[in-house]
Structure 1
Amino acid sequence: MPPTSGAPHDGAPAEHGHWFHRLHQRVLTSAVGLAWSRGREMELMHRAMGFAALSLLTLVPLLIVVASADLASGQGFARWLIQGLGVSEVSQEEVERIFGKPGQALQRTTAFGLAALAAFGVTFGSAVQTGYERVWDLPTARWHTMWRHVVWLAVLVASLLLFVGTSTPAHTSTAGTVLLAAADVTGAFLFFWWSQRFLLCGRIRWRALAPGAACTALGLLGLRVFSQFVFSPLIASNAVTYGEFGTVLVLQSWLVGVGFVVYGAALVGRMIHEHQVVRRLDREPFDLP
């Protein structure tokens, strides 16, 4: 007959495993677990890294040429990055050193080169469209919708010009800073709200896209604050360690963050919309025919 001394302890591992299983299931069915699962399904991090790579290869060269035409700023594309990153004065010098003097890119670019840059920029719009389609589980749009990429790219460049033109002055009051930040968030919300509707060819309603646009605008604001405390000192330290290549590495990391916010916020926005639909149906039950 087996000893009975170990009997009270036999159920402890099973009970512990049952408790862990319940906790695991609760996490998986929670909002965070659902967001994690959907992010893995759409390969969110890989898409964010692809967003950064395409930005550096296709969009940044075009923006350098466009920004070089803004001679009034005196800094060209470097000023755009400084405003987006929100870096300190020491890091600003490193960014300005990377992108050279304003005006040179525009003077040395031929008509064929400018057309090639525009064509590469259109591919960036196509990648953003594909990411939004994966967020909403939509089929790929047909080839004749490529004109939307051209329009979206033009609006993007115009929005960046407006963002830099309304930048925060060096010496401004707290109330002025808050108002400008609110204006930036509002502008980002309107742009990404329209971008989703436009790139998805109107297949998703405006109301469903609003939460994602709001999350994107707030996420970009948070990324800008994060950049001031993390990326700004990294630019200064990496410039000493790796030279100009270190600044490019930090810029690439920041672009990965931008891509993660753009796609991840759209995914969170879809989940918020679905939650709102479920709550509305619970409040207003309907009878099946």
Structure 2
Amino acid sequence: MPMKSSPAANRSTPLRRLRRAVSRSPVGRGWRRSSDLQLGQRALGFAALGFLTLVPLLLIVSSADPAHGQGFAQWLGDGLGLSTASRRKVEELFTLPGQALRTTTAFGIATLAVFGLTFGSAVQTGYESVWALPAARWHARWRHVVWLGVLTAYLFVSATTGLWEGSVFGTWAALASAVLFLWWSQRMLLGGRVGWRALLPGAMATALGLFGLRIFSQVVFSPLIASNAVTYGPFGTVLVLQAWLVGVGVVVFGGALAGRVLHEELPRVAHALKRRR
């Protein structure tokens, strides 16, 4: 005689179906891929290398322009959406940017270059993991140099022109420039192994994620900077900036991953809509 299923098994069937449906959905696929990508660890590495590379490099570049010597500190304040009090604490960390170019040695610049190339390699490895691509060959390292130079120029222009101004035009200009730069960055670091059309959703998702991170920073990081500066001094401000860079790393790699999921899902949605018609 066939065995009858127990009531407990029958009650668990809808839950199992829901789990299978979620697992097969775009959200489920994205969650599994984020676990394989080790998103948290990559974001921590992004924050560490970014702090070692971008902050000193941008200080040196900005010191060459005395008229905008405080541009980097202003850009950080605008990018995080800080209040006036918190913005002052950030600017106190960069009170003498004009001395950076005069006091930097050749060894210091060489060290920055090494960290910068390592930073570019880390971003490239993250993008390759998102798209399940093999590691690029050693002779493609020149792409890191080009990408780091364009990144430095992009951040410097953003710092000195104030793209994150409160106007609607400034916001749209910042989003459009971010999409273009992120779109090109993926294409450059991946060596053209993924098409432009496939990379566009990731660039748009990352730019929107950075905009959302700015809003989050206004609510969370801005009061944290003010309170940590009182409790821990300048070190407290550095901790909050490092936490913000971790968030940027999550958005950069998570946005690229979301873009791949969207690229794979949109044709299926379009095909389903055609069948219904």
Whether the TM-score (by the shorter chain) exceeds 0.5 is yes
Q: Secondary structure at the match of 1:139?
A: coil
Question: Whole-Å Cα distance in 1 between the matches of residues 107 and 122 of structure 2?
Answer: 23
Bigger mean CA offset, 141-150 vs 237-246? 237-246
Match of 1:86 in 2: 81
Q: Residue 164 in 1 paired to residue 171 in 2?
A: no
Match of 2:237 in 1: 247
Report if aligned partners of 1:135, 1:266 keep a CA contact under 8 Å in 2: yes
Q: Residue 21 in 1 paired to residue 16 in 2?
A: yes
Q: Residue 35 in 1 paired to residue 25 in 2?
A: no
Q: Which amino acid aligns with 1:118?
A: A
Q: Which amino acid aligns with 1:123?
A: T
Q: Secondary structure at the match of 2:93?
A: helix
Q: Residue 234 in 1 paired to residue 214 in 2?
A: no
Q: Residue 97 in 1 paired to residue 87 in 2?
A: no
Bigger mean CA offset, 43-52 vs 27-36? 27-36
Match of 1:59 in 2: 54
Q: Which amino acid aligns with 2:217?
A: S
Match of 1:146 in 2: 141
Within the candidate set 191, 201, 206, 2:196 is matched to 206
Shift of 1:279: 4.3
Within the candidate set 211, 214, 237, 1:221 is matched to 211
Question: Whole-Å Cα distance in 2 between the matches of residues 217 and 46 of structure 1?
Answer: 21
Match of 2:112 in 1: 117
Shift of 1:23: 1.9
Unaligned runs of 5+ in 2: none
1:176-203, Cα deviation, whole Å (9 max, x unpaired):
x111100000000000000000110000
> Which has the higher Rg, Structure 1 or Structure 2?
1
Question: Whole-Å Cα distance in 2 between the matches of residues 109 and 225 of structure 1?
Answer: 35
Within the candidate set 242, 251, 259, 2:249 is matched to 259
TM-score, length-scaled by structure 2:
0.91
Within the candidate set 67, 70, 92, 1:72 is matched to 67
Report if aligned partners of 2:71, 2:160 keep a CA contact under 8 Å in 1: no
Shift of 1:59: 2.5
Q: Which amino acid aligns with 1:217?
A: A
1:215-267, Cα deviation, whole Å (9 max, x unpaired):
11111111111111111111001111222111111101100110011000000
Within the candidate set 267, 272, 279, 2:262 is matched to 272
Cα RMSD over matched residues?
2.1
Shift of 1:284: 8.6
Aligned runs of 1:171-190 on 2, under 5 Å?
Answer: 177-190=167-180
TM-score, length-scaled by structure 1:
0.88
Q: Which amino acid aligns with 2:254?
A: G
Q: Secondary structure at the match of 1:140?
A: coil
Question: Whole-Å Cα distance in 1 between the matches of residues 117 and 272 of structure 2?
Answer: 43
Q: Residue 194 in 1 paired to residue 189 in 2?
A: no
Report if aligned partners of 1:129, 1:200 keep a CA contact under 8 Å in 2: yes
Unaligned runs of 5+ in 1: 1-9
Report if aligned partners of 1:69, 1:76 keep a CA contact under 8 Å in 2: no
Question: Whole-Å Cα distance in 2 between the matches of residues 251 and 104 of structure 1?
Answer: 22
Report if aligned partners of 2:72, 2:156 keep a CA contact under 8 Å in 1: no
Question: Whole-Å Cα distance in 2 between the matches of residues 89 and 63 of structure 1?
Answer: 22
Q: Secondary structure at the match of 1:203?
A: coil
Report if aligned partners of 1:208, 1:273 keep a CA contact under 8 Å in 2: yes
Report if aligned partners of 2:46, 2:246 keep a CA contact under 8 Å in 1: yes
Q: Secondary structure at the match of 1:161?
A: helix
Poorly superposed stretches of 4+, deviation over 3 Å:
277-285
Shift of 1:11: 4.3
